[in-house]
Amino acid sequence: MSWPWPSEFRILQKDELAPGIKRIVVYAPLIAQKAKVGQFVIIRVDEYGERFPLTLVDWSPEEGTITLIFQEVGVSTKKLGALKVGDRILDMVGPLGNPSRIRRYGEVAVIGGGVGTALMYPQVLALKEAGNKVTSIIGARTSRLLLLVNEISRVSDELYISTDDGSMGVKGFTSDVLKALLEEGRRFDYVFAVGPVLMMKAVADVTRPYKIKTFVSLNPIMIDGTGMCGGCRVRVGGETKFACVDGPEFDAHQVDFTELLRRLRTYRKEEEEAARIFDEKMKEEAHEA
Amino acid sequence: MKLTNRLRQVPMPKLDVEERIRSFKEVALGYTEEQAIAEAERCLQCKVPRCVEGCPVGVDIPAFIRFIREGKFDEAVEKIKEKNALPAICGRVCPQENQCMGKCILGLKGDPINIGGLERFVADYERKKGFSRPEIKPSTGKSVAVVGSGPAGLTAAAELAKMGHSVTIFEALHAPGGVLMYGIPEFRMPKDIVLSEVNYVKSLGVKIVKDVIIGRVVTLKELFEMGFDAVLLGTGAGLPKFLGIPGENLCGIYSANEFLIRVNLMKAYAFPKYDTPIKVKGRTAVIGGGNVAMDAARSALRLGSDVTVIYRRTEAEMPARREEVLNAKEEGVNFTFLAAPTRFLGDEEGWVRQVECVRMELGEVDDTGRRRPIPIAGSEFHSDFETVVVAIGQRANPIAVLNDPRIKLTRHGTIVVNPETYQTTMEGVYAAGDIVTGNATVISAMGGGKKAAKAIHAFLTGENPKKGR
């Protein structure tokens, strides 16, 4: 039986795409073999670590590798970011979640904000391959934080950029760009958005009056990723769904974003504390070295 | 001091309440050698032992007790392990009062023999001494995939390995043990004991592959393609039940599963040493009356909260083990009986602040054999709670077979099996434990795992019970 059962999730490559945003290529042959667009993995970096989800950005069944891009915000992503090439991640399970709805819609807009820009890359690629005309809209706080601009540009029919500070592209939000396009008379058959909750909500609000089918990839707090804990429950169309097994992509016009945002903030204080402790530890280690 | 009074159990030493509620240390401390022998001496050694009838795996109870009495602890362990591979677990979490102990003849006039306590004593004796390896039959050349490393999966894997089959267990989580790891708290089922039982199973030659979700990542069909000759599904009842009432998604409201996974599997009680947080504020309501509710309540208490269990029937109908209810009471858990939540009320930030309940009264006996709780109209009342744990049961988790039409499920999501052979509706695929029965006990899952292992052995060695005998 020569199946690639998980044993060692070794980091083969690592680079920093933008300040605090890292890309790693990890040896995970089973996951690479099974991955589909829109799916995620659950990671536990070390013995003390949390279980947390990361969306798959790229994968190669031939090389047995997967690519992850993440922003270092909490202790878990900071820990992951601190690993070096050659280090191993203790646990990784996946691919989890339902694959994206990739089909031939016609004209589609794919919108990514912040680290979500990286996560939209496989969507753009797959939608393009499915024969869609793809308009990509990417945005970040400032130009330095824009991710994969060249890659996305290469596979999109059109690319629009927005930054909050106007340092590149339009000054404003991705949803503003989408709104302007729609007001100009552009029509989309499908819109996909991934990024900060408020951005996804804004996109949903923009497309709602136009009745454009709009899907978003949600990122609630998750533990097991198999439907066991219910921590990732989100309200969609008045019903409670589990993002891990029913999602992670949902009809944006049905999602209760306010509840999602509140639930995401459940552990804010604890997350800040854990991150602070980790930063101090790293500082001490750097000092000793 | 005379230890033995034939009618009275040798009391199980327990940690002081004061120390208990400040830590997650195991509450029951276990018998000393002297105490175990004294308790064993009470046994009447019945010619027709009723206790054995009460044991789901048929352990020869009088025989192992006789060995304890004679101080032959190695023989006692061996005797138990003929039928039960995981006595350190059963001795701790079996509901003996409804099984072996419930049948003990001594219970008619006084206390039944503390069979669980004795089982635990010999299991702990063996663990301290180091496991001896049982006889393993020569290799059959057949291989079995066991899905899930909880009580059913571990038991079946051990049995199959002893019969000479090559066994691989697939576990979805990062740690083996299933509910023993993620569900039952440290103070009732220490994790190093679970791990040592798992290591015993590994010592029989069983391979454990963690971090793989059969059904999601690898299909049943692929398991057969890669060369497994049979599959046992022991995936448990891992899906949480919610009340389905307004406000249930407010922050501070957990399913019992999430609450216990955070505490047990992720060790959130040791935050920030462990990265997973848990938030338990001043007052916690635990909804439900089963063992899981007791585990959640006692965990919340240890995390510093003032805890109230809200149960819709009365204390007499509680499905939790009596011992655990008493432990909870001793530790200071409050109980509100005959009440059921109707909605949760939150603050402007989306945190739960109050639980609205309705008073209940008991009506006619229902199909569970207990009197049905009936809401009393207009009796709603509000209580302040900042944390709520919903512990009203778990559902079967059919994730392993959801996409395989060959496996038939009941409308409850449990897997349909032949009650004799534990075979599912697909040849070569068997199922046991909570995935078949819905949420039940550790020992019933072990019993199922054992029977399924026998049926798989018969299937693999050509004596397919389906074709006669």
* Residue where a domain terminates, one of B379, B394, B409: B394
Burial B137-159 (b: 16+ CB within 10 A, else e): eeebebbbbbbbbbbbbbbbbbb
Contact A107, A133 (CB under 8 A): yes
Residue A230 touches chain B, beta carbons under 8 Å: yes
Residue B374: pLDDT above 80? Answer: yes
ipTM computed for the complex = 0.94
Q: What is the pLDDT of residue B397?
A: 81
Chain A residues with CB-CB distance to B249 below 8 A: 233-235, 240, 259, 263
Contact A267, B279 (CB under 8 A): yes
Residues B285 and B361 in one domain: yes
Question: Per the domain annotation, does B456 fall within a domain?
Answer: yes
Residues B244 and B390 in one domain: yes
* Model confidence band, residue A2 (pLDDT cutoffs 50, 70, 90): low
Region B141-154: mean pLDDT is 95
Residues B290 and B342 in one domain: yes
Report the candidate in B362, B359, B395 with the shortest Cα–Cα distance to residue B377.
B359
User: Beta strand pairing status for A58-60 and A65-71?
Assistant: antiparallel
Residue A3: pLDDT above 70? Answer: no
Contact B287, B389 (CB under 8 A): yes
Question: Per the domain annotation, does B14 fall within a domain?
Answer: yes
Report the candidate in B21, B44, B104 with the shortest Cα–Cα distance to residue B306.
B21
Look at chain B and report how many structural domains it folds into: 3
Measure the CA–CA gap between B165 and B394, rounded to whole angstroms: 32
Q: What is the pLDDT of residues B376-423, one digit of tens each?
A: 999 999 999 999 999 999 888 877 776 788 899 998 889 999 998 999
Chain A residues with CB-CB distance to B218 below 8 A: 3, 30, 34
Residues B363 and B250 in one domain: yes
Mean pLDDT of chain B: 92
User: Beta strand pairing status for B352-365 and B371-375?
Assistant: antiparallel
DSSP string for residues in B295-358:
HHHHHHHHTT-EEEEEESS-GGG--S-HHHHHHHHHHT-EEEESEEEEEEEE-TTSBEEEEEEE
Residues B165 and B300 in one domain: no
Residues B95 and B44 in one domain: yes
User: Which residue on chain B is closest to A45 by alpha carbon?
Assistant: B275
Region B227-231: mean pLDDT is 95
Question: Per the domain annotation, does B194 fall within a domain?
Answer: yes
Cβ distance A30 to B218 less than 8 Å, yes or no, reads: yes
* Residue where a domain terminates, one of B72, B101, B129: B129
Chain A residues with CB-CB distance to B262 below 8 A: 223
Region A81-102: mean pLDDT is 95
Contact B86, B202 (CB under 8 A): no
Residues B195 and B228 in one domain: yes
Cβ distance B399 to A230 less than 8 Å, yes or no, reads: no
* Percent of all residues in chain B with a pLDDT value above 90, rounded to a whole number: 79
Which of A3-7, A44-48, A167-171, B200-204 has the lowest average pLDDT? A3-7
Residues B158 and B103 in one domain: no
Cβ neighbours around B233 below 10 Å, total: 30
Q: What is the pLDDT of residues A267-288, one digit of tens each?
A: 999 999 999 999 999 888 888 8
Residues B254 and B302 in one domain: yes
Q: What is the pLDDT of residue B1?
A: 44
Residues B177 and B167 in one domain: yes
Q: Of B168, B216, B222, B388, which to mutate for an interface test with A (greatest number of A Cβ within 10 Å)?
A: B216
Nearest-CB residue to A6 (from B211, B272, B279): B211
Question: Per the domain annotation, does B454 fall within a domain?
Answer: yes
Residue B109: pLDDT above 90? Answer: no
Which CATH number do you get for residue B226?
Answer: 3.50.50.60
More confident residue, B177 or B369: B177
Residue B378 CB partners (closer than 8 Å, separation 6+): none
Measure the CA–CA gap between B361 and B312, rounded to whole angstroms: 8
Measure the CA–CA gap between B327 and B321, rounded to whole angstroms: 10
Contact B296, B256 (CB under 8 A): yes
Mean pLDDT of chain A: 94
Cβ distance B397 to A91 less than 8 Å, yes or no, reads: no
Residue B469: pLDDT above 50? Answer: no
Contact A11, A88 (CB under 8 A): yes
Chain A residues with CB-CB distance to B251 below 8 A: 262-263, 265-266
Question: Per the domain annotation, does B64 fall within a domain?
Answer: yes
Q: What is the pLDDT of residues B409-464, one digit of tens each?
A: 998 889 999 998 999 999 999 999 999 988 888 888 998 999 999 999 999 998 65
Measure the CA–CA gap between A191 and A208, rounded to whole angstroms: 11
Measure the CA–CA gap between A97 and A102, rounded to whole angstroms: 15
Cβ neighbours around A183 below 10 Å, total: 10
Measure the CA–CA gap between A34 and A97, rounded to whole angstroms: 12
Measure the CA–CA gap between B469 and B35, rounded to whole angstroms: 46
Q: What is the pLDDT of residue B177?
A: 96
Helix (H) or strand (E) holding B395: strand B394-395
Region A189-212: mean pLDDT is 97
SS3 B413: coil
Chain B residues with CB-CB distance to A267 below 8 A: 277, 279
Cβ distance B216 to A226 less than 8 Å, yes or no, reads: yes
Region B351-368: mean pLDDT is 93
Measure the CA–CA gap between B190 and B180, rounded to whole angstroms: 9
Q: What is the pLDDT of residues B38-65, one digit of tens each?
A: 999 999 999 999 999 999 889 999 999 9
Q: What angle do CA B193, B60, B168 make, to 5 degrees?
A: 45
Question: Per the domain annotation, does B257 fall within a domain?
Answer: yes
Question: Per the domain annotation, does B469 fall within a domain?
Answer: no
Contact B161, B206 (CB under 8 A): yes
* Residue where a domain terminates, one of B375, B394, B413: B394
For A34-149, strand residue ranges (E) read 40-44, 52-55, 58-60, 65-71, 88-89, 91-96, 107-113, 133-140
Cβ distance B255 to A230 less than 8 Å, yes or no, reads: yes
* Model confidence band, residue B98 (pLDDT cutoffs 50, 70, 90): confident
Residues B244 and B388 in one domain: yes
**Residues paired with B381 in a beta bridge:** B357
Question: Per the domain annotation, does B374 fall within a domain?
Answer: yes
B-facing residues of A in 76-105 (CB < 8 A) are 76, 79, 90-96
Nearest-CB residue to A266 (from B251, B274, B399): B251
Q: How far is A76 from chain B (nearest CA, A)?
A: 8
Measure the CA–CA gap between A145 and A72, rounded to whole angstroms: 13
* Model confidence band, residue B135 (pLDDT cutoffs 50, 70, 90): confident
Chain A residues with CB-CB distance to B258 below 8 A: 223, 229-231
Supply the pTM of this predicted model. 0.93
Q: How far is B199 from chain A (nearest CA, A)?
A: 18
Write out the two tokens for A167. Answer: 């340092």
**Residues paired with A112 in a beta bridge:** A138, A194
Residue A55: pLDDT above 50? Answer: yes
Contact A110, A123 (CB under 8 A): yes
Cβ neighbours around A172 below 10 Å, total: 16
Q: What is the pLDDT of residue A1?
A: 44
CA A120 to each of CA A53, B67, B330: distance values in angstroms, whole numbers, following the listed order: 16, 67, 55
Residues B407 and B383 in one domain: no
> Which structural domain, as residue segments, surrounds residue B23?
3-129
Write out the two tokens for B190. Answer: 């220490």
**Residues paired with B254 in a beta bridge:** B389
Q: Of A224, A232, A236, which to mutate for an interface test with B (greatest number of B Cβ within 10 Å)?
A: A224
